[in-house]
Amino acid sequence: MRLRNVKGSREEIAANEYSLKEVEKNKGHWAELFADGKPIHIEIGMGKGKFLMKLAELHPEIHYIGIEKYSSVLVRALEKMEENPLPNIHFIRMDAENIVDVFEKGEVDKIYLNFSDPWPKDRHAKRRLTSKQFLARYETILKKGGIIEFKTDNRPLFDFSVEEVKEAGWVTELCTYDLHNSEYVEGNVMTEYEEKFVAKGNPICKLVFHPVY
Ligand code: SAM
């Protein structure tokens, strides 16, 4: 994603009600904080949040938390929320590397990874959001029975991810190399990047997986 420094974005995020602050204090207390027993689904690397906002509209019975590393990107999601406020969505500006500082064991029911940055150089493999280093973090925060859904049009990243899941001994529930021409497309909610890549004719790969429970 091309990043542009958006002037004042840090200040805007700090003042916005949808962006959660000092989130490490919520670790182990998310259920108390929401106080309604609804499951928590997170998207890591949510960009401008289009996908998560659509899901939040469709599923008021779920709490959605979008995680984005860059203020300049997150601020766009916050602006969209002003136009269409939703009670069941929040955002955190953070590097997902630190996700285990924010969620306690078993606090998250589902993780979405959509069109994650590919980090094509081998020496950067551990930065990929589907690397074994990240899988270990997800295993810590996922509830028993929790799952991860990953979509990308980037075939090398997808092949890498399939291997990492296999090597970790995790369970693959679904693996398709052409989501939009498969039976699994029903109910699919497109992300911003997905719309761009589908328009270009790129096949979209999808992997659904979870640790062994
Ligand atoms: N998921 C969106 C979509 O499909 O339209 C955006 C995809 S964009 C290519 C990847 C996003 O992930 C970027 O906004 C980037 O800043 C964010 N990102 C990458 N690494 C991250 C990390 N370690 N923690 C949080 N966000 C990250």
- pLDDT at position 2 is 44
- pLDDT at position 69 is 97
Which of residues 115 and 17 earns the better pLDDT score? 115
Which residue in this structure is represented by tokens 């207390």? 29
pLDDT tens across 61-100, in order?
999 999 999 999 999 999 999 888 999 999 999 999 999 9
Any catalytic annotation for residue 117?
yes
How remote is the CA of residue 103 from the centroid of ligand 1, in Å? 19
117 CB near ligand 1 (under 6 Å): yes
Over residues 134-153, the mean pLDDT reads: 98
149 CB near ligand 1 (under 6 Å): no
67 CB near ligand 1 (under 6 Å): yes
pTM of the model: 0.95
- pLDDT at position 5 is 63
- The total of other beta-carbon atoms located within 10 Å of residue 2's CB is 3
Best of 52, 94, 115, 131 to mutate for ligand 1, by most ligand atoms within 8 A of CB?
115
